[in-house]
């Protein structure tokens, strides 16, 4: 059994909300509060949200976390 961690990031648009919603629908759980920061290069706000998930498999650095 392994506990996995992902940090989801995206510009502050509906795409970020959909990315987090998709992870929640796949069994990931929110971990901490979301973060926001201004990206000078794109001149947009960026969002970040950490999520975790427990899986039956042993952890491997080769795991495709988005497919778990």
- Amino acid 65: pLDDT: 86
Domain count, the chain: 1
For residue 30, give both structure tokens.
């929110």
| Phi–psi pair at 27, nearest 5 degrees | 95, 0
pTM of the model: 0.89
68, part of any domain: no
pLDDT tens digits along 8-65:
999 999 999 999 999 999 999 999 999 999 999 999 999 999 999 999 988 988 988 8
18, part of any domain: yes
62, part of any domain: no
Buried b (16+ CB within 10 A) or exposed e, 31-66: eeeeeeeeeeeeeeeebebbbebeeeeeeeeeeeee
SS3 61: coil
66, part of any domain: no
Q: What is the CATH number of the domain that holds 44?
A: 3.30.70
48, part of any domain: yes
Which residue range(s) make up the domain with 42? 2-57
28, part of any domain: yes
């Amino acid at each position: 059994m392994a506990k996995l961690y992902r940090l989801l990031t995206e510009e502050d648009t509906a795409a970020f909300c959909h990315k987090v919603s998709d992870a929640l629908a796949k069994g990931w759980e929110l971990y901490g509060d979301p973060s926001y920061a201004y990206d000078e290069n794109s001149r947009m706000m960026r969002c970040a949200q950490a999520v975790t998930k427990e899986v039956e498999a042993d952890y491997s650095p080769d795991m495709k976390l988005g497919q778990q």
